[in-house]
Structure 1
């Protein structure tokens, strides 16, 4: 049917695949903005919640750690919880991207624009 078109049939297929990939990337970006992870430090005394995109959305601090003599310890615990949340967000984002590339039949480890 498309024999006379040569490579144009392949080009149409590639364009369709590119559109599908763009749609799926948009959906993934929306999903990453709503997926949350919780980073912890101090055995759960400080918890930082972030989206899978790495945006900090909540910080929960157990009041028992508020001792004026231990200000630096509290600051360290807060930073550790935020860093843990960011690391978990990065891992979650990477897993979601791997799932998408696999679903689209793309090679593993392919860097997608916008990620």
Structure 2
């Protein structure tokens, strides 16, 4: 999905983390989640008494997938992550112990 690298800024020499997202990862993950959901929907339609547990498991897994899929996709939104970091810094600004230590990342696109 992405990788984090340690780097040194040319301007000032500060050590930073560089988080790089793989190309087209959002589209790939969204497609994967759609395919998984489709297969689970098909599993709900398996015939016969012997498949009742499988149908129930598919139904429960769809519920779980629907719950976590949105959050999972949010994790791939680095712009939102930066906004959350800025908000956290604002909220913690009153605390000298925490607020000063919060560094909010910049987001660069290619």
Q: TM-score range by the shorter chain?
A: 0.3 to 0.5
TM-score normalised by the chain length of structure 1 = 0.34
TM-score normalised by the chain length of structure 2 = 0.35
Which one scores higher on RCO, CA 8 angstroms, separation ≥ 6? 1
